Amino acid sequence: MRTVFKKIAVTVFSVGIVLSVFSSCSDDIVLPPVPTLIGEYSGHYSLIDFSLGGAGDTLIDIDVNWVFRKDTYELDDTTKTICTPSGSYIWSGTSVNLEENFDGNSGGVCNPSRNPIGDFSIQRPDDSLILKQNIDNIFKEIRLKKIQ
């Protein structure tokens, strides 16, 4: 009789320990959110031409609003300096590739070659994005702060 009682006591004790371990650990597991660019941003876009040397010529220096969705982006430039581009993007964590879908309906006179397209390095301090590109002495920089 004592051995049956001991077996039952050991089994109940073991099950109790296993259940307490599982129930206490479930609250301790915190997974970080999956990184994403999705959201609405406000910021600044600048384009500087260093091809003639020196300090460079600032060709674009404007405030912009930017929306990243799952696979697409939209840039709102009220001055129509850069044709209000939109398109798709691929984000690799350290860089982002912007592919423009230009339909020619910008609503104003603009120069599509000044639009932010191609590969940009990306930095993500806090709730901000900094995108940089330097091709053939043309430097493009986009500084954005998340608003939603």
pLDDT reported for residue 5: 67
Q: How many helices (H) and strands (E) does the chain have?
A: 1, 8
* Other beta carbons within 10 Å of 85: 23
Which helix (H) or strand (E) covers residue 120, if one does?
strand 118-123
Contact 90, 72 (CB under 8 A): no
pTM: 0.71
Render pLDDT for 77-132 as a digit per residue (tens, 0 to 9): 877 777 778 899 999 888 999 998 866 555 555 677 788 889 999 998 888 999 99
pLDDT reported for residue 28: 61
34-38, 42-46, 90-94, range with the lowest pLDDT:
34-38
Radius of gyration over alpha carbons of the chain, in Å? 27
